[in-house]
Structure 1
Amino acid sequence: MMQAIPQRNQLFVASCLALLVTSLSFGIRAGILSRLGVQFELNAAQLGSIAATAFWGFPLAVVIGGFVVDVIGMKRLLLVAFVFHLVGILLTIFAGGYWTLFISTLCIGIANGTVEAACNPLVATIFSDNKTTKLNHFHLWFPGGIVIGTLLVFILDKMNIGWQVQVGLMIIPTLIYGFLFSKLNFPVTERVAQGISTGDMYKALLNPLFILMIVLMFGTAITELFTGQWIDVLLKNVSDNAILLLTIETGVMVVGRGLAEPVVHRFSPQGVLLMSAILSALGLYLLGHSTGNMLFVGALVFGMGVCYFWPTMLGFVSENLPRTGAVGLNLMGGAGMFAVSVYMMFMGGRYDELLASKLPAGASLKSYMDAAAGTEMATALAEAKKAAGPEILNTTLLIPVILTVAFAGLLIYMRRKKQPALA
């Protein structure tokens, strides 16, 4: 039975604003990552480590939040997110090097995870009659914020406005969502409202279908988030407007998630996931094997592919495994972000290895990175980057190929599972 939620539209708007801050942090960081490397003399492995911090701060918060949200309530959890967002943003603005960037990014990652830990079950609770669609509408603000963030970076760069101001702009929506959540009344989570015991919830987490979805979440999250976060670094020397590739990709995601209702109802969540995997693989192939305008075609196709991954994975679990409750949703989010953090750190080191392998034998990568613009060494490094970036994308391409096979199997399994009920 659906709870009567008197303020559900206000709660949904405040949730979208909180997610907007989360996504702005991704979009702005993706846009300024290479500049942070130059200003603070950081190599790709260090940049990968800093960027990854947000991704493992996220699962830490989302998993812990998932376990305590039913106990302390969604409102308290979101006020904790507000504090961490504010602290993380301020620390980033006044960063002085690797460790301050590391700690500030960790704070923002914890805030981002806490937002998801509270808002995913909140949206599933207040729209329990239309979960997958409304989770897609909620998660529309993730690519939406990345579009806004990357465009802000692009425009403010042209105006010669520093990255500290760009990061500082996130304070505005942070203060607004903190104020709104402090004034609104929250319902209990759907699991609590339905009277499903904590013991039954933990038993449901051992369901083989749930365990499979956790594993598949590793792949969907890496495909979407690693590529998005590193696209400027990987393709900067292939295209003069690499950050606009991310804007195109995420712009497509905004439109797609906004149109989620007819798509999800027509094809079913598992059908949508299969189509997403196929398009993601095609898009990554184009990004890794193209130059010029075809890169923008690749970003368009890739955006169509990853568009429904995250919210539809959550919607599938919420609809087909409702007894897993808030913990189930948040374990999914935590698993995805943890996988991205591990993959990002590994690929940061791999990228440095590829660069070194493409430079003259015995050359020091650091000496090439320190070379002045226009010198022969700087030109050689640019050519190495031009070759290394697409190789990283081609390695990542294997993941959506595997996902295509897995989601085809899931589609067949769910059809067979539902056949007896139709007979």
Structure 2
Amino acid sequence: MTCFIALVATSFGFISRAFMLADWGKAFGLSETQQGEIFGAGLWPFAISMVLFSLIIDRVGYKKAMWFALLCHLVSVAMTVTAKGYQSLYWAAFVGALGNGTIEAVINPVIASVYRHAKTKWLNILHAGWPMGLMLGGAITLGIEDWDWKIKVCLILLPVVVYGFMLVTCHFPVSERVAAKVSYKDMLKELGGVGIFIPLVLILEELGRVLIQPGNSLFADGWAFNFDNKPFTIILLISLAISIAYGLYVKSAGKPMYILMLIVMLPLATTELGTDGWIKELMTPAMEQLGAQSGWLLVYTSAIMVTLRFCVGPIMRITRLQPLGLLSVACVLVITGIAWLSQINVSEYTQSTGIIVLTAAFIYGAGQCFFWPTTLGFVAERFPKGGALTLNTIAGVGMLGVGILGGPWLGYIQNTTISDQLQQREPSLYEKISGEPTQSMFGSYTPIDNAKYDALLIAEPADADVIQSQVTKAQTVGKSQALFKVNVLPLIMLLTFIGLILYFKSKGGYKPVELEIQSDTPSDAPDESLPDS
């Protein structure tokens, strides 16, 4: 229960801060870019600390790590309430994200160790805490929209204080890996030289993007995930050198199936996290038709996730689905939901259209909610020797990958489809407002130039309404087409999961790998109890 409430506190604070960005913008005169950077400071340390902390979490002990996370949360709230501007808000978000990453680094291996005979079920139940925090934080913030932002910040302490009191009497287990006397080096072998390369590139790329400023002689080209970019080439070489050294030290390239799951985690995280903005944008008019604020979208989608993650045990028992089967069904639901949503005529909303959108979004959400925790469950069941490292690395890769690769890819296909639509529908208008060709890591595209668009509306006031209608129509159809293209990601995942199911079938069926728990506490274990055998 302590782990669950701690995760609720993590997402409660995350969404509360996200909702308060506009308040801080007004209070301190922050630009949109600065608000985005503060939001980002709540994400990238989260993912990186989750991975790095996994290397030492078994030595430090789970309870000490949780006390550190609690301290980070308390300090973060204090820093935010006393903030004087951008810098203090940025570092407050940074400290809070360190606490969030530490909690994730602890709770995943704890649950996998305590419920080692039903890992997928209980990791799903644990991760119902994330949408529950979003649901509670979103509902409370919407309910006190007019309150002073400092009071809103203090409310973040509610779940923090609860899990803090629970920590006092909570007893944590020795991790399954340590209890089975799997050595630290054997844990590193699970990841191997090839496996470590993927998170290394993403971590160093994200640190470089945040910390290295354009204009430095070494990084004069700026910072971008692009093979033609000098900094990225440097990152690849550094990552390759470290990975080779790591592989030689542990004498392992890594488990091929785990490396495959690291790669699959990139489209999985993009599908789950990256498309949410589009789905919610499509659903906003639907909520308005039903007489509800658009902010309640978050409560609606989070409630779906909480309910289904709590029910994953009966679902798996009744359907007799193993993790890969559940992931395959989830892919089918997501593909169906996205395809349906992309075909709805969002430019002509009626009451019935709103209900249809909410229904299609429910199908999408019903599949999406199982992606993350079930993948963690599969990894925990098949690679228990990797302990906290394999579990938290795959989660960290997902979080970093959606920001570094998934987001830019989604933006690229949205820009290209919108431009293509406008060029096909209104070629003369397109010529007037199209910008310069832009190169991205996925190819070149020609976006709409907002400055030219605004200038045209001023220059031709008589036709302004017609121009706006034409552009809006192209954007609406373009976004729907772009959303449909996203289905290539869950389709790739579906084929991968089916391939793995057939592989296990050829080996006699899917079976979790179970470690033999020793009867005595390992000498290098922290002062914690053994998991039940």
Give the TM-score, by structure 2 length: 0.65
Higher helix share goes to which structure? 1
Structural mapping, 1:340-379, within 5 Å: 340-343=402-405, 346=408, 361=433, 363-364=450-451
Contact 1:355-1:384 within 8 A present in 2 as well: no
Assess, with a 3 A threshold, how the Cα gap between structure 1 residues 395 and 57 changes in structure 2: closer, same or farther.
farther
The residue matched to 1:364 in structure 2 has which SS? helix
Contact 1:228-1:246 within 8 A present in 2 as well: no
The residue matched to 1:109 in structure 2 has which SS? helix
Residue matched to 1:214: 262
Residue matched to 1:324: 386
Percent sequence identity is 30
Residue matched to 1:311: 373
1:180 to 152, 163, 166: 166
CA deviations 1:134-190 (Å, max 9, x no partner) are 111111111111111222233223xx2345433431111112212322443322111
Assess, with a 3 A threshold, how the Cα gap between structure 1 residues 314 and 419 changes in structure 2: closer, same or farther.
closer
Residue matched to 1:81: 69
Aligned CA RMSD, in angstroms, stands at 3.7
How many angstroms apart in 1 are the aligned matches of 2:355 and 2:118?
39
Q: Determine whether 1:248 maps to 2:300.
A: yes
Write the letter of the residue equivalent to 1:214.
Answer: L
How many angstroms apart in 1 are the aligned matches of 2:6 and 2:393?
20
**TM-superposed deviation, 1:282:** 2.5
Gaps of 5+ in 2: 192-253, 347-353, 423-429, 434-448, 459-463, 512-533
Assess, with a 3 A threshold, how the Cα gap between structure 1 residues 65 and 405 changes in structure 2: closer, same or farther.
same
Write the letter of the residue equivalent to 1:131.
Answer: K
Contact 2:69-2:103 within 8 A present in 1 as well: yes
**TM-superposed deviation, 1:273:** 0.6
Structural mapping, 1:157-196, within 5 Å: 157=145, 160-196=146-182
**TM-superposed deviation, 1:117:** 0.3
Assess, with a 3 A threshold, how the Cα gap between structure 1 residues 284 and 150 changes in structure 2: closer, same or farther.
farther
**Which of the pair has more CA radius of gyration?**
2
Count of residues paired in the alignment: 399
How many angstroms apart in 1 are the aligned matches of 2:499 and 2:278?
30
CA deviations 1:26-50 (Å, max 9, x no partner) are 433454556666775544x665554
Assess, with a 3 A threshold, how the Cα gap between structure 1 residues 100 and 239 changes in structure 2: closer, same or farther.
farther
How many angstroms apart in 1 are the aligned matches of 2:94 and 2:277?
16
160-169 vs 17-26, which moves further: 160-169
**TM-superposed deviation, 1:231:** 5.7
How many angstroms apart in 2 are the aligned matches of 1:365 and 1:82?
50
**TM-superposed deviation, 1:78:** 1.1
Write the letter of the residue equivalent to 1:188.
Answer: V
How many angstroms apart in 2 are the aligned matches of 1:260 and 1:109?
29
How many angstroms apart in 2 are the aligned matches of 1:202 and 1:212?
17
How many angstroms apart in 1 are the aligned matches of 2:323 and 2:267?
17
The residue matched to 2:295 in structure 1 has which SS? helix
Q: Determine whether 1:132 maps to 2:115.
A: no
Gaps of 5+ in 1: 1-12
Residue matched to 1:64: 52
CA deviations 1:72-93 (Å, max 9, x no partner) are 1111111111122223334445
How many angstroms apart in 1 are the aligned matches of 2:142 and 2:160?
22
Residue matched to 1:10: none
Write the letter of the residue equivalent to 1:68.
Answer: I
The residue matched to 2:144 in structure 1 has which SS? helix
Give the TM-score, by structure 1 length: 0.81
CA deviations 1:331-380 (Å, max 9, x no partner) are 11111111123247637976996899789725439989xx9xxxx89x95
Residue matched to 2:310: 258
Residue matched to 1:296: 358
